[in-house]
Amino acid sequence: MKRILIFIPLLAILLVSCVSPRMYDELKSKKEASDKQNEELKSQNLALTTRDQELSSSLEDLRSQVKSLSADTAKMGVELRELQSQYASLNATYQTLLKDGPTSAANSEATKKLIRDLQKTQENLQKKEDELRIKEAALKTKKESLDAMSSELHEKDKRLAELEQILASKDSSVKALRNTVSNALIGFKDKGLTVEMKNGKVYVMLEERLLFATGSIIVDPKGVEALKELGKVLEKNQDINVLIEGHTDNVPMRGAGDIKDNWDLSAIRATSVVKILLTNPKVVPSHLTAAGRSEFAPIDKSNSVDGRKKNRRIEVILTPKLDEIFKVLETN
């Protein structure tokens, strides 16, 4: 009768706590999607920076071309006005000669030379006018390109600055969160707890010795104390998502009852941690996810005694929301 009484609550825990393979796959997909989004943000930032540099270089080159074209156009304008003045002067002289009449050979020769000069000047004048029109058209096109590129560069700079500001704010928030968690759990640093930041997330790793006896799903009192301190941090940071992962070593589980293997053990341990965090009524349940990873995400693959010891752990992964960043990317 006593064995039956022990088995009934254990079975109840298992029914509530176990994570199905389908749910695990969903959790794994969400985590992979989050990691992919983080990489995409970095790629977007790099692409924007590269494009910004390319535009800046092209813009400087275009400005140089516009400056050169402007100088050429101004020079040609001066030359055209000089030719127009020269043509007017020659034409005035020619009209004077016509008025006097070609009465002498000298006048006749002078008139012929004047006509030749007038024709040559007129040809040069027409050529300069044609060249000037071509230069003015090219200058107009370049200026339009310059205006369009300047506008694009301005928008890219604005978008890049906004994205960098949000990324910097996110990184600053993650660092602040890491420091807060580290300070809250500083008393457990030498008892099997570490806090680190990577991929834009805060990872709280709790070794088995801090939380569980070997093969057990019941959290030890010192582990409960650590998790309650972490709950206080989550209470004050309700805009983050929390993934609790259970990990085991590669030694097959030889448990009794419904804990048949390392999958069961890792999933139930993760759920046990979630339930302790939720003893704080201000922790948001919808932001918590429990997952069992069994032996398939080791941090030490040496298969040594120390390596297996490191692999038996709980990881609490704190992920800030990226809504602001995605809004910027969607609106640009």
243, 27 in Cβ contact below 8 A?
yes
Find, among 285, 286, 267, 266, the residue nearest to 276 by Cα: 285
pLDDT in tens, 233-264: 999 988 889 999 999 999 998 766 778 899 99
pLDDT in tens, 112-171: 777 787 788 888 878 878 888 887 888 788 788 878 878 887 887 887 788 788 778 778
* Burial annotation 235-251 (CB, 10 A radius, 16+ → b, else e): eebeebbbbbbbbbbee
Query: How crowded is the C-beta side of 148, counted as CA atoms within 13 Å?
Result: 6
112, 105 in Cβ contact below 8 A?
no
* Single-letter residue type at 36: K
Rounded Cα distance between 267 and 20, Å, is 9
Find, among 259, 292, 329, 330, the residue nearest to 10 by Cα: 259
Q: For all residues of the chain together, what is the average pLDDT?
A: 79
Q: What is the pLDDT of residue 305?
A: 94
Find, among 226, 193, 205, the residue nearest to 318 by Cα: 205
pTM above 0.75, yes or no: no
